[in-house]
A and B are shown apart, each in its own frame.
Chain A
Amino acid sequence: MPAASAIKVMVVDDQTSMRAMIRRTLQDLGFKDIRDKPTAPEALESVKSDRVHLIISDYNMPEMDGLQFLEAVRKDGVIGKTVFIMLTGSSDRELVQKAAALGVNNYLVKPFAPAALKEKIERVFGALA
């Protein structure tokens, strides 16, 4: 049973308010080491130099979208196996299938309840302590 406080998380969303809400939700779940970035390129650079266990990323972002970000992470020899949960505006079948093909670990449809985020994380890491 992993301790949430031991899991390092990167949150990526172009909306400041959304990043703040996700951060607050993770803190309520016991996560302590949370960093966030407004764009995928910034997040990619950050997690390459300071690795995390979990990336929670929005899909719909300018510059580099969530799928492109996922692909870049998976292609990297060092951070390629980082757990990746994608946030989407709707459960678009084509998008989810593309993400699954690229190796996403799970996805979550906005707006989500804290319990839903916890469940998605636990499906990958096991029950959180």
Chain B
Amino acid sequence: MHRISIIQGEHAVVGEPGTVITTLLGSCIAVCLQDSVTRIGGMNHFLLGEPGKDQRVNAHELQRYGLHAMELLINAMMKRGATRNGFRAHLYGGANIVAGLGSIGSSNAAFARRFLETEGIAIGHVDVGGTRARKVEFLPYEGKARSTAVADAPPIAVPVTPRGGELELF
């Protein structure tokens, strides 16, 4: 069995049998997505932005990071030949395990569920919330996913701003 481990801000897409994608989650979310027609599937691992102590950032602002993470996964799958009509998702993470971070885990989970509902993507397994970290394993080709509680907390998630720098053409 071939294993691919991802961390926050990453995603992986697989189109062949016998490969498992894994990640370790705290307050972050992992969406496991499979196109049941082509059997192409992938997983992402993301956190909505977290405002700094003195920053006032509204909920809409934070959601753009989640939207971007979902778009990257979906685009990567479609690039491999997946089609939206067959998408089915499993949803994991969103624990509230770090004191002082409030309910960021719940916000992440609520965002992910709302996104999938808005996009009309069928939702399969859901294991979100609570106070324990999770290990998630996903077999994209087979469409099987599972999460198990783990004692070790993952590294404290830090919002990632994926920017590649701009070209000065305009």
Contacts and interface: CB of A to CB of B under 8 A. Distances in A.
Interface of A: 14-18, 20-21, 24-25, 60, 62, 89-91, 93, 96-97, 100, 105-107, 109-114, 123
A90 B164 contact: yes
A83 B67 CA distance: 25
A62 B119 contact: no
Majority SS at the chain B contact face: helix
B169 A16 contact: no
Contacts of A60: 71, 75, 78
B75 A106 contact: no
Contact of B71 (A91, A110, A113): A110
Contacts of A100: 169-170
Interface string B100-132: 000000000000000100111000000000000
A90 B75 CA distance: 12
B164 A109 contact: yes
A124 to B, nearest CB: 9
Contacts of B163: 109
Contact of B64 (A96, A97, A111, A123): A111
A16 B115 CA distance: 9
Contacts of A25: 60
Contacts of A105: 170
